[in-house]
Amino acid sequence: MVLLIGIVVVAASVAVLVYLGAMLWGAARVPMGALFERQQFERHVAQAQRGDRYLQEGALSGALAAFEAALYPYPPRSATMAKSIARHHTGLLSRFIAAADQVQGERVRLLSLAKADRLFHERAALHQRYVALRQGGSRQRVRAVEQELRANTRELRATLSALTAEIASTRAVRYQ
């Protein structure tokens, strides 16, 4: 009888501990996720700043590689983060324009630049839809937007790579 009561008390204690652990995890998960997201975003911002330093030093290939790597490919958790990402991507596009301007002078004409601009605008709209759906949309619609974001990321990476190649080839032609 004492053994049975001991087992019941231990089982109840484990259940209470699991319940409390789940409550603590639920309370800490959102702020921890936002913290990790912010740190990850800051690494991409630092990558863009590294590219700025390369560009100032005249290391165009290093700058272009850093700018390519500075693309933030993850969906945002909040509207504030979505706005920060959009500003970062606008700055990234400006950096590519500055790099092209350094090579071509004031006649920047690159097809990939226009495509990248369009893709960044699409991405900003997708981020806004994603944040809105996360707050009150169906799981299926959230997954559909996540798929669109992944497709946009692939296309944007390819476009930025092509943009880098266009800028680099312009430089090679100019100096020959």
Q: How far separated are the first and last CA of the chain, in Å rounded? A: 94
What gap in Å lies between CA 129 and CA 137, rounded to an integer?
Answer: 10
CB 87 within 8 Å of CB 105: no
Task: Kindly provide the b/e burial profile for residues 76-102, where b requires at least 16 CB atoms within 10 angstroms of the residue's own CB.
Answer: bbeeebbebbbebbeebbebbbebbeb
pLDDT interval class at 150 (50, 70, 90) = very high
What gap in Å lies between CA 131 and CA 89, rounded to an integer?
Answer: 17
Per-residue pLDDT tens over the stretch 36-79: 889 999 999 999 999 999 999 988 999 999 999 999 999 998 99
Q: Assess whether pLDDT exceeds 60 at residue 174.
A: no
Q: How many CB atoms are closer than 10 A to CB 165?
A: 12
DSSP H or E segment with residue 113: helix 111-136
Place of tokens 């560009």: 55
- Sequence letter at residue 111: L
Per-residue pLDDT tens over the stretch 14-41: 888 888 888 777 766 666 667 788 999 9
What gap in Å lies between CA 15 and CA 110, rounded to an integer?
Answer: 63
CA distances in angstroms from 141 to 47, 95, 132, 145, 150, listed in the order given: 32, 34, 11, 6, 14
Cβ neighbours for 9, distance < 8 A, ≥ 6 positions apart: none
Cβ neighbours for 33, distance < 8 A, ≥ 6 positions apart: 77
Q: Assess whether pLDDT exceeds 90 at residue 126.
A: yes
Residue 158: the pLDDT is: 94
The residue length of the chain stands at: 176
